[in-house]
Amino acid sequence: MGKGCMKAIKYFLFLFNVLFFLFGALIMGFGLWVLLDKESFMVILQESSTVLKIASYILIGVGGLSMLMGFLGCLGAIYEIRCLLGLYFTCLLLILIGQVAAGVLIYFQKDLLNKEMSNIVTQILSNYPGKNSTTEQAWDYIQRTMECCGWSGHMDWHGNAVVVNSSQLLFPCSCQNVSLVEGNSPSDSGFCEAQSLDWPVYNRGCNSSVESWLFANVGVILGVCLGVAVIELLGMILSIGLCKSIHTEDYTKVPKY
């Protein structure tokens, strides 16, 4: 292989590794967001969804390893170190397998995830207000910002112990439809008193909005993983080509007796 072609492979591999490092940071960021987010529906799923936790740990691991391998790949490409390039190829293969495993896990567990969401929300609505204020605050935030009430509808709240046992007509404040109320702004959490049996709340349940939001974000994560997978495949091909070039060049330099 000519020197010009070898240089082209080397610098293309360097460029792919820079992109690989950046995409790895994105994947790691997504995994950390899924695991640590405390202001969206993720905080509710974190309470009992083992599938989501496993997938987030896989994403964090894959992202961190991708960043490390992007750095090592840059060194191997610039300095033409065969052992680094071989290690780079092996780790790329392992990362690719990990990404496929995470994607398959998320995709084929969608129904289970949806069922878990329904069970978790039902439990939250029944026990509200309870001890887990972070989860309840997240649900209040969802109802308020998505302009919805309950999981399937506002009737889900009729199973709440406080609503059932109270002598007043109570409804969740975060469900309140501001267009139906005059005067002061409603409270962000807790219960408000209704003037009649017809609650001034949103009629739409949160299930469709939450599912759309969740799977849209999962789609972004899977899209980034797919982009990284393409870069990984190209990186593997280029690393093999550069290794062969280095081996051929070293062989031609061996003096003949």
pLDDT in tens, 201-214: 998 888 888 777 76
Each residue of 160-197: pLDDT tens digit?
A: 988 888 888 889 988 888 887 665 566 777 888 888 88
Residues 6+ apart with CB under 8 A from 2: none
The better pLDDT of the pair 21, 149 is held by: 149
Beta bridge partners of 191: 172
Residues 143 and 150: their CA atoms lie apart, in Å, by 8
Residues 236 and 256: their CA atoms lie apart, in Å, by 33
Q: List phi, psi (to 5°) of 176.
A: -65, 130
DSSP characters over 172-194: EGGGB-GGG--SSPPPSSSEEE-
Residues 240 and 203: their CA atoms lie apart, in Å, by 60
Q: Go through the chain and tell me how many residues it has.
A: 257
Closest CA to 129 of 185, 167, 172: 172
The better pLDDT of the pair 44, 202 is held by: 202
